[in-house]
Structure 1
Amino acid sequence: MTKSSFLSHYDAILRILDRAASWIVTASMAVMSTVLLLQVFFRYVINDSLAWGWDVPRVCFIWSVMFAIPLGIRYNAHVGIELLVDRFGDRAKRFVVSLNALLILILSGVIAYYAALLTGDTWDQLMPGIPLSVGVFYASLMIGQAHTCLHVGRILVTGNLPNEHWSES
């Protein structure tokens, strides 16, 4: 398998994962916003509160953040300071990008590993307001960081940050 063939297959897998992550982020933000509006309505209009009104938005917020991280890497949308790196030549820039990607890969891999352990350890504990496992917090961290590893792996393979030329089709 050639490098370009490998990258086209890899990109196809990433596109599927990114599309799923985008839907999860969108759905979790919609649910979070709706429940928060309901919580405000119940608290200030009906003078009562929803028992699950704090747990659902918390889960949705964490899931949206954890799944948005790899999307930020995909579109090179994370905040970065390039004041020094912009002065480097192409070879030095590529080295800095690769070193940064390697460090992110190691960190994200360690986080995903420990999140998997915590998911298993906390799966039998339920949240106070809803019958949902506390492990779903760690599951989102595990999945999001594993997805991040896939994006950072692509950067390591190519030596380039994603840009507008990264195939979108």
Structure 2
Amino acid sequence: MRHFLLTIEPFVRRLARTALWGAGIGLVSMTLIIFWQVFARYVLNDSPSWTESTSVQLMGWFIFLGACVGIHEGYHLGFDVLVYVVPDRGKKLLRTISDLAILGFSLAMMVYGTQLMAGTWNTTIPTLGIPGGTTFMPLIVGAVLSILFTANRILRRYCGLENANAFAITD
């Protein structure tokens, strides 16, 4: 297992880096679209109809991709107060409990997000002309990446690999 985890580590890091770039590009794109909306409304007196829906779509993507990167790097919610006062075995246990909670929540997000997407796929977002179910795609992708990153953290900790609690996505 240890060899396998070390073998896939570059792939996991690239995946996290890609998610980080996707989140950053989404945030910048949303900012530019909102700027265009405000400029068009107040300067050109002609507000485009697609800007709000597109911004909401982008916001879902950068929020969930950014959250995945936070999980990968260990910046998610956890038992931080107790971690600093318990012995090493207790730290591992608390971090594993935190990761298991994230794993369970991510599994629920994936299952229920898929149900939401399937239930709304036949609707259409009027201003964009795309299926309404696309709104839930960031939730599902974010859940899958969260599951992958959390499972990787748990397995790394179980195998005694260094930096099992957090590791940077940079090389």
TM-score normalised to structure 2 length: 0.88
Which moves more between the two structures, 150-159 or 74-83? 74-83
Query: Of 8, 11, 14, which residue of structure 2 is paired with 1:10?
Result: 8
Which moves more between the two structures, 55-64 or 27-36? 27-36
Query: Of 151, 154, 160, which residue of structure 1 is paired with 2:149?
Result: 151
**d(CA) in 1 for partners of 2:76 and 2:57?**
23
Which AA in structure 2 matches 1:55?
S
**Structure 1: 5+ residue stretches without partners:** none
Question: Structure 1 residue 31: deviation in Å?
Answer: 1.6
Which AA in structure 2 matches 1:4?
R
**d(CA) in 2 for partners of 1:71 and 1:162?**
11
Which AA in structure 1 matches 2:16?
D
Aligned to 1:140: 138
Question: Structure 1 residue 79: deviation in Å?
Answer: 5.1
Aligned to 2:66: 68
Aligned to 2:29: 31
Question: Structure 1 residue 57: deviation in Å?
Answer: 0.6
Q: Is the 8 A contact 2:107 2:143 kept in 1?
A: yes
Question: Structure 1 residue 62: deviation in Å?
Answer: 0.8
Q: Is the 8 A contact 1:42 1:48 kept in 2?
A: yes
TM-score normalised to structure 1 length: 0.89
**Structure 2: 5+ residue stretches without partners:** 158-163
Which moves more between the two structures, 131-140 or 57-66? 131-140
Query: Of 42, 45, 52, which residue of structure 2 is paired with 1:54?
Result: 52
Which AA in structure 1 matches 2:37?
Q
Aligned to 2:102: 104
Q: Which contiguous aligned blocks of 4+ residues in structure 1 show a shift greater than 6 angstroms?
A: none
| Percent identity for Structure 1 against Structure 2 | 25
Q: Is the 8 A contact 2:78 2:98 kept in 1?
A: no
**d(CA) in 2 for partners of 1:145 and 1:120?**
16
May I ask how many residue pairs the two structures share in their alignment? 165
Which AA in structure 1 matches 2:143?
Q
Aligned to 1:129: 127
Q: Is the 8 A contact 1:63 1:137 kept in 2?
A: no
Which AA in structure 2 matches 1:162?
A
**d(CA) in 1 for partners of 2:62 and 2:17?**
13
Question: Structure 1 residue 128: deviation in Å?
Answer: 2.5
Structure 1, residues 46-91: CA drift from partner, whole Å, max 9, x if none? 1121111210111111110011111011222235562222110000
Question: Structure 1 residue 114: deviation in Å?
Answer: 1.3
Query: Of 20, 23, 33, which residue of structure 2 is paired with 1:22?
Result: 20
